[in-house]
Structure 1
Amino acid sequence: MGSAQEREFLDFAAARAGHLYRSACLLTGGDTHRAEDLVQETLGRMFVTWRRIHQVGNPAGYAQTVLVRTFLSQQRRRSSTERPTGEFPDLPQSRQGDPLLRLTLLEALAGLRPKDRAVLVLRYWEDRSVAETATAMEVSENAVRTRCVRALDKLRSVLGGSLAEYAS
């Protein structure tokens, strides 16, 4: 890869790493170490094929797709779903929002299956359409709708019918 393309990739990676990391944290249920590894692997895969990717026209969208597919691939390969600790690490304080609500949502997301988590992150965090989510996950649109409804039902059963009690 030429130095101009390397510079272009480094600029892209610097600009998108934060967003990819936040998505990865949601996908991993708040496991910041796995999220960092996931972002690193995603950017590594993109670097190898950057010459083709930046010609596509939407490298940011492609990066999100690679992130989700890498996450799902890792979940299939994991021999154990044990977590090294029962507590979530301290997350950086945001300018807005309630830390207790954030931890409650991350804990609830962590209780979902990986594909359910991926559907919710793509649909509601990334604000992707059903068709875009289906393409990213390599499933049908009906599968996305079904998985989304079931995942939201599971979240409601864990969190109660409303998040109002956590937001107050």
Structure 2
Amino acid sequence: MNAERQVALLRGINVGRAKRVAMADLRKLLGDLGYADVRTLLNSGNVVFGAAGDTPAQSAARIEEALVLKLGVAARATVLDAARFGELMADNSLVALADDPSRLMVSVLNDPADMARLAPLLGQDWTPEALAGGRWAAYLWCPDGVLASRAAAALGALLGDAVTSRNWATMGKLHALLQETGVAG
């Protein structure tokens, strides 16, 4: 796995009618910033790229600024390097509980220190849902879907734009892209 590979998760891109961004424009934007082998996944602001020396925090700041200046879209960028993304995947203690990866959510924290703010939620009984914490994310099992999830609503109300969520199926696809060999970065 190339240590310079990173993944950017853009919050709220192409959800409803707000923050519309074509993935071709997003790939070009990151390419223009000097990032290599830029790949998008789905149409919701998931980007894997070679960072060439930028830390994840530097990449996030550069991407957020370029989105506003070049595309007129303000969106929070959560950026993880390949190693941290792998840890985030390994930390999910709810995998065995979930029988549908589209209803198993990963809520990635912009600031891992925010995990302490989740303590009251982590101590609650959400049955039939489940909520667990890891080092870099909270994991939610939403058997009736995320829109009907009390735990997801509580997490969103508590952290707002300090968190961005993806389902387990999407996270698995991003993880596979990060692990591809022979990719420039």
More strand by share: 2
Larger Rg: 1
Q: TM-score range by the shorter chain?
A: under 0.3
Taking CA–CA contacts closer than 8 Å with sequence separation of 6 or more, which of the two structures ends up with the larger relative contact order? 2
- TM-score w.r.t. the length of structure 2 is 0.22
* TM-score (ref. length: structure 1): 0.24
Higher helix proportion, which one? 1
